Structure 1
């Protein structure tokens, strides 16, 4: 479907073509009629004495002009209303029209060449879509300048339409001169209107493109926003699925192994009661089994606690660490001191999770492997980094071998490009320094 601007341009082109064709046909017809009249009234000698030149067979010129005009109208109609997109066909049709126009202009002895302006305007419409149109525009421009009647008669003897008009009566001469000049003027006016319409149409297209670009930018922004929300939703769903799975595993451990060990510990205590107070090998073995089973129950409770939904997901970092310390103190029965200078620890999610997991893993190692009774947890915010120190009074170790727990801590710190050190000094010490991304540290 063509735009309103294109329809307006086509309308002006049709009007301009009508005026141009009418001027050529009327001019050739007028010359033919006047020539016949001169012959009929036997005034040829008088006419020839005042004429610089005469055309050939005026009837043939008139017929050729009419046929050429019809061909131009047909090719223009086909090109305009058949939605032809082949650039070669468009160029060929315009060149055929141009050749017919030049022949007609030559036959009319250059008394009218305004139809070349129509060719110029017609080519201007296809300028952007057809790479051959600049050639047509240049040829039409040069041809229009070179076929001007006043210029051509400086070099060639050609007849002037005014010579034929003067054959008529004085009153009729005025009418014919008026009509002839009006047709020439209308050709120029239509050409100017066509150029203006093309410029306005281009501006409308530019405005529509700008508006479309704004809509595309808005749509792109909305799409990016939707993508971010979708990614967040997928991440939340993945974390929710992980939490559900961890809860399921925690329930399985608590309901099966935890209950089994609890029942086993109760059975061993019953056996101890039946054995009496006498310290026999059986009583000693039962005491050992009771201790092992209760320690196992504590380990299971700590494991179940660590499998619960992550505290950083529900609390701020400091509250999450405080809850972790309190739960560990209550389950394991150890004394834990938590020292934090800053009351509002707020970092990126990956940084908060790394800090929380390092403290959690260090507490587990201190109790499970170090048999610690006292643990000190210190969190200190430095310029551009956060410092962690977990010091227990456990048995320590002569040679530090990185098991799963220590490797897990080191991996988390390395992911954040931090540093971590392990020392066995009056127990065991974990020291970590994690760089913090400035600008995202606090809300």
Structure 2
């Protein structure tokens, strides 16, 4: 079959890579380069990403396998201890600086623990028990947090903001998000021991390198960048995908590997897609402005309180400033600046995103979309469709499409052999 894939991000490119074993694929990407949200830049001699860069060695098994199949491993993955600092609006005195014994032995770090650290430990223990029961993704976070014997102030100024940061919503929205989405990520970045930060990995060549490797593995001309899709038509069982320049791709089926609002817009003219469109309309997004910069604009005043993730709770939001010193050895920062009182002074690059909020309504919509996958020749892929909206989610969504269209393909077997499907 000839398959048109709309969207050349990680989900779309992985889908194309998997389907290429048995089908002719054409990927149409609106941006001038493949990769979707992947946007890597150079700063202080290292590559950093405006999108996701940290990877979980244990929590991202399918994504990790994909990297190895693409030739990325070893020196391409730098250990990244994910220490955490949480401050209030003035950033003067941190309420929490998590321990990391190697830094403390060198005199580089001064933990701030006390009651907030005990409260976080209490929450993580409760979250682990909750997760072990394999709960529904539709249960709201408040059902887990509110029964805990913790002070109201702790819940409102530490737990809910921390979890709001993980699921990318306003602090006041956090009680209503999917508890499973919030804790799955939170538990994956919790420490194995109280004295050491959780160890993730930083992708040294950047996420755009992954996109390039996927695109290079496809036939010449299969990935068409600078081709925003303006219309999707269906006639006698075949599709015509038309880009903004009027160029058309005729295909037997189509994979929409784009965020829910974009998929909804493309499906609007097509008869028989009412249920799909209703489900796609249930996904909620929030705006995010992210900057890579060289000045420590949002770091605590005392360098010994700096962490890989520095979370400031202010004005109803929790915004992070990532410091790449622990992973890459340089004073380069990536900060969410959507609601900050001032921008950073030494900006290297800046980009706007719309980030998914995984609510129970979104989880119900996922179930509807999964049940209708492939109906009428329409398939969906993207990190919004499964899990906690991560790199692993994007790869898993591509696997779901490939299992329907190429169930016996060699690449599919290579990528899934021994990997357990998520609940």
- TM-score for the superposition, normalised by structure 1: 0.18
Higher helix share: 1
**Comparing both chains, which one has the higher relative contact order based on Cα–Cα distances under 8 Å and sequence gaps of 6 or more?**
2
- TM-score for the superposition, normalised by structure 2: 0.19
Higher strand share: 2
